[in-house]
Amino acid sequence: MEEGVVIRSTGSWYTVRLVHGTIIDCRIKGQFRIKGIRTTNPVAVGDRVRVKDPKTGNAIISDILPRNNYIIRKSVNLSKESHIIASNIDQTFLIVTVENPGITTGFIDRFLVTAEAYRIPSLILFNKVDACSEKGRKRLDFLLENYTKAGYRCFEVSAVRGDKIEEVRDFMKGKSTLFSGHSGVGKSTLANAVDNNLNLRVGEISEAHSKGRHTTTFAEMFELEFGGFLIDTPGVKGFGIVDIEKEELAHYFAEMRPHVGHCKFNNCMHINEPKCVIKEMVAEGEISEERYRNYLNMYYDDDQNYRTSDYK
Ligand SMILES: Nc1nc2c(ncn2[C@@H]2O[C@H](COP(=O)(O)OP(=O)(O)OP(=O)(O)O)[C@@H](O)[C@H]2O)c(=O)[nH]1
Ligand SMILES: [Mg+2]
Ligand SMILES: [Zn+2]
């Protein structure tokens, strides 16, 4: 029996880097479940696992060691099933573009809420700033203001021109970072810019976005030349939140969290209760209306919103 980390998962095969560095393909045996949640992938990239018979060519993952955290979303059309994007991560970079493809704040906020549920720090990287139209620039300025105010660090980057890549690299040193976002936003291009040794496949200009084609098809973890790990993932269209109670939701909006206990009623859901501190802060402009609106959307109909866009 040896221990290792899952660095790639294709669905039927799992690639594991054993403690002493050897990389082997494994299968799984047995049931792996998170309490009551059905997942399409029982073992995720980032999982620390025990491997049986690692030398035989018949290696089997027999156990998953307890996860520190994970990022999970509702997957595919089967809304009852969830997909673990990655586990045991130090931070997530949500890669966003305002054009080609565009982005909704609903998607961003669902992602951030999921990361907050495990207290995983998130940074937002606005990529392709080299190719921004005037209209795109306005949208970008709005998003920068909205998310900076909510307490998130935002970077305007360009993977092709090299803007802010040095800063991004500094943030990644010695950490395990998940890259997530829609398909075609430049996750793999950015990964290559951060570490030239990676050589990941990126989309052709002509097929970028719109056609729903995904260049990266499996999540994969790479060791960085300057120290740390990067997990590149396939683009996602929707981000359905999983396993978050309505009563807890406001705690996962970073800028609401410090105030939720100060409403008149201690079970306040911040909807139409009197003397609600959150609503007062929205009225005074201290919490953005956009974020509050997404709070309400998530509170009322977790399901409908993510079904309006068909998932990958
Ligand atoms: N103008 C511009 N284009 C970029 C930039 N970064 C990436 N692209 C282009 O965007 C397209 C998609 O890039 P990818 O890196 O494959 O995108 P991805 O997010 O990895 O996509 P999936 O693997 O499908 O999830 C490619 O044509 C890139 O050349 C950038 O900073 N500026
Ligand atoms: Mg990619
Ligand atoms: Zn309240």
Instruction: Return the structure tokens found at 45.
Output: 């990239």
Ligand 1 centroid–CA 98 distance in Å is 13
pLDDT digits 0-9 by tens, 223-251: 999 999 999 999 998 888 888 899 999 99
Question: Residue whose CA is closest, atom 23 of ligand 1?
Answer: 216
pLDDT digits 0-9 by tens, 51-61: 998 888 899 99
Q: Which atom of ligand 1 is nearest to the CA of 127?
A: 31
- Which domains can be identified in the chain, with CATH numbers? 2-64 (2.40.50.140), 70-232 (3.40.50.300), 246-308 (1.10.40.50)
CA dist., res. 248 & res. 296, Å (int)? 13
pLDDT in the model for residue 206: 53
Mutate to test the pocket of ligand 1, among 93, 126, 189 (most ligand atoms within 8 A of CB): 189
Kindly state the percentage of the chain with pLDDT values over 70: 90
Question: Residues enclosing ligand 1, CB less than 6 A?
Answer: 127-128, 130-131, 158-160, 183-189, 202-205, 208, 214-216, 234-235
pLDDT in the model for residue 305: 43
Give which of 80, 49, 75 is closest to 63, Cα–Cα.
Answer: 49
Q: Are strands 82-87 and 70-74 parallel, antiparallel or unpaired?
A: antiparallel
Cβ neighbours around 138 below 10 Å, total: 12
Helix (H) or strand (E) holding 15: strand 14-18
Q: Which residues of the chain have pLDDT under 70?
A: 31, 33-36, 75-79, 205-212, 301-312
Tell me which ligand sits closest to the C-alpha of residue 96. Answer: 1
pLDDT in the model for residue 12: 80
Tell me which ligand sits closest to the C-alpha of residue 271. Answer: 3
Q: What share of the chain is helix, strand, coil (3-state, %, to 5)?
A: 30, 25, 50
Ligand 1 centroid–CA 288 distance in Å is 30
Alpha-carbon distance values, 244 to 29, 37, 305, 307 (Å): 29, 12, 15, 17
Question: Residue whose CA is closest, atom 7 of ligand 1?
Answer: 186
pLDDT in the model for residue 177: 98
pLDDT in the model for residue 55: 86
Ligand 2 centroid–CA 234 distance in Å is 6
Contact predicate 115/71, CB 8 Å: yes
What DSSP designation does 10 have? -
pLDDT in the model for residue 311: 33
pLDDT in the model for residue 205: 61
Ligand 1 centroid–CA 140 distance in Å is 18
Give which of 94, 264, 113, 112 is closest to 179, Cα–Cα.
Answer: 94
